[in-house]
Structure 1
């Protein structure tokens, strides 16, 4: 829970999202989807360690399934506007595989123990924590900082 508090639970995620322009919302949805994929891939990678967090990932996924699905639907709609229905499905699959491949060798600055704590914290957190984590912990530098790793 320290991570969640450290990210400022006072943020009203719904208010922030509704105030964002559409392109910022799309980027936010993409980051949320990537966070879910990152946790799934790294939970599989860490499953044979003492820091196996597959159950924490399942709890996270169950807690945030509506938000994760909304992120996927938002990406699908945005891609449909550029590629049509069939092309959008292929593009979404391609993007999802790229996201997963980014974490195939692990997270760039979080180890299994830290990822386990993150998944556990997010399984108990709200949408604001989900948005903040997706902003701070992704590998591609879109705000990816080592905030959690320094905790």
Structure 2
């Protein structure tokens, strides 16, 4: 059983690294974007929890269903930061990324409302494809909506 879990974790981490990303994007950038997507969804789900479009249950399902991919992205991101900044510097850099995302989305998403975020989070929770997280991150973390976006076209 342990070998199976290890294989699944390794396969999911590899999927994060092999997920198609924008031309020229490094695996650590893809990992950072997936980590930022997770933080953005968590922060906005907290912000939306008191309204009719509370999507905390959908966020919890998303997080549970993609935990291996999310953890793989976090480890890849951390490894890249350790290479660039050393162990202490990597911790500070991770803190800056997390706090920056929380501050950026604390007042809500710039162009998606709680209802759209709830729908997107439901779609991501239902997805079995780790590549969908990269696609969603690319679309949802952009400064504005993109024509033909799979997740952001709401």
* Partner residue, 2:130: 127
Q: How many residues align?
A: 137
User: What is the CA–CA distance in structure 2 between the aligned matches of 1:88 and 1:95, rounded to whole Å?
Assistant: 10
Paired residue secondary structure (2:97): helix
Q: CA deviation at 1:135?
A: 1.2
Aligned to 2:94: 92
Specify which structure has the bigger relative contact order, considering alpha-carbon pairs within 8 angstroms and separated by 6 or more residues.
1
**Alignment partner of 1:81 is 2:88:** no
Residue aligning to 1:109: 111
Taking the TM superposition and a 5 Å limit, the aligned residue runs for 1:1-151 are 14=15, 17=18, 24-125=26-127, 126-140=129-143, 145=146, 147=149, 148-151=151-154
TM-score by length of 1: 0.80
**TM-score after normalising by structure 2:** 0.79
Unpaired segments ≥5 residues, structure 1? 1-12
- CA distance in 1 between partners of 2:49 and 2:20 (Å): 39
**Larger deviation, residues 22-31 vs 49-58:** 22-31
Does structure 1 conserve the Cα–Cα contact (< 8 Å) formed by 2:37 and 2:137?
yes
**Structure 2: which 5+ runs fail to align?**
1-13
